[in-house]
Amino acid sequence: MSMRTLPLLFLNLGGEMLYILDQRLRAQHIPGDKARKVLNDIISTMFNRKFMEELFKPQELYSKKALRTIYERLAHASIMKLNQASMDKLYDLMTMAFKYQVLLCPRPKDVLLVTFNHLDTIKGFIRDSPTILQQVDETFRQLIEIYGGLSAGEFQLIRQTLLIFFQDLHIRVSMFLKDKVQNNNGRFVLPVSGPVPWGTELPGLIRMFNNKGEEVKRIEFKHGGNYVRAPKEGSFELYGDRVLKLGTNMYSLNRPVETHMSGSSKNLASWTQESIAPNPLAKEELNFLARLMGGMEIKKPSGPEPGFRLNLFTSDEEEEQAALTRPEELSHEVINIQATQDQQRSEELARIMGEFEITEQPRLSTSKGDDLLAMMDEL
């Protein structure tokens, strides 16, 4: 297991979450100012400096429950609210999209390009918010500094750690099914065509060498695919052409996306096992995440700008039906976080809450929905 996997997992899943929310905000015709506020608030919270510092420390991956908890906090960091069925669907879409991207990465190192594609698109959401742009650029620089010098073997370990995390998730997504990149059992179809990884040759030739390193024989074979050379390597700098399209916004065409649970008993058993007998460290993971997020609670918006509910389904009836038909074992139950069980933990939480500041331009409105810092101050 790689100790450098968590930042890439968190940022890529977060990018997919923002893509989906942006698409649904547009589909439900949410006014532009409210939609921008939702995305700005979530991105500002997601890229908080203190949180990023903790995230980039070498550490093992958290459990699926712990990660889902923090994404639920992020999704409710503004005036928008999601009910349980929509949150379940959001998390399913996020995880399956990034799993697909990891599987299709030509090289293990290209998972970093996928991350850069997500951050590039996120920057487009906040182009009019220089303070938040600065937060994202700082995370960009941390990624370049930490991952730029890793070896191919270290990236292979990161990719393997990600695939282990995703291995029992086989949720069918309508977009993938229609594009014929996913089978009805929820497993992805890997292509046998397209560009080969940068720096590699086209398949179809075997070279044999003697003990002096001299080529002595060549054998050609039919590989059954339709491969081409990669035009160039993607840029690993702050700005540049990533070349790789994995990680870009696949919802920009505004296509409706549905999720369906596959009938795989292994998949059901995997989720059931984690639901009934979670990782013994899960509680501590959640408490740690609670401290990072400043113990932020979900509260009803008030003041002149009311909150609104976002539906990830095409209708309220469909959302209600999804909540009723989803197997109970697969519903993501959020564990209540007790972060004040003793005096030492309480003092530590208070200290970190005091440091958890989001520097923003002064705003005219002082409602909870308008100011994330005010939301946390009122806890």
**Domain membership flag for residue 35:** yes
Per-residue pLDDT tens over the stretch 148-193: 999 999 999 999 999 999 998 999 999 999 999 999 999 999 988 8
Does 287 have pLDDT greater than 70? no
Q: pLDDT: is 234 or 333 the higher one?
A: 234
Please tell me the predicted confidence (pLDDT) of residue 353: 52
The pLDDT of residue 311 is above 90: no
For the chain, the maximum distance between any two Cα atoms, rounded to a whole number of angstroms, is: 80
Q: What integer is the mean pLDDT of 335-360?
A: 48
Report whether 349 contacts 365 (CB < 8 A).
no
Q: Is residue 61 part of a domain?
A: yes
Confidence of residue 219 (pLDDT cuts 50, 70, 90): very high
- Section 240-254 average pLDDT: 88
- The number of distinct structural domains making up the chain is 1
What pLDDT sits at residue 64?
A: 86
Tell whether 372 is covered by a domain.
Answer: no
Q: What is the pLDDT of residue 328?
A: 58
* Domain enclosing residue 117, as ranges: 5-192+239-254+306-331+346-352
User: For position 62, what pLDDT does the model report?
Assistant: 82
* Whether the predicted pLDDT of 356 surpasses 60: no
244 lies in some domain = yes
The rounded mean pLDDT for the chain is 79
Q: What is the mean pLDDT of residues 115-135?
A: 96
Q: With bands split at pLDDT 50, 70 and 90, how would you rate the model's confidence at 265?
A: very low
Tell me, yes or no, whether 23 lies in a domain.
yes
Length of the chain: 379
Tell me if 287 is assigned to some domain. no
pTM for the predicted model, two decimal places: 0.77
Q: Which of 37-46, 71-80, 304-313 has the lowest mean pLDDT?
A: 304-313
The pLDDT of residue 165 is 95
Tell me the Ramachandran region of residue 292: left when phi exceeds 0, alpha when psi lies from -120 to 50, beta otherwise.
Answer: alpha
Which residues lie below 8 Å from residue 139, measured CB to CB, with a gap of 6+?
A: 11, 47, 52, 119
Give residues with Cβ within 8 angstroms of 6, minimum separation 6.
Answer: 55, 59, 60, 61, 62
Check residues 285 and 39 and name the one with the higher pLDDT: 39
Asked if residue 365 is part of any domain, the answer here is no
More confident residue, 362 or 107: 107
Task: Answer whether residue 370 is part of any domain.
Answer: no
What pLDDT does 378 receive?
47
Structure tokens that stand for 142 in this block? 């941390």
Q: 295-307, pLDDT tens digit by residue?
A: 343 344 545 566 7
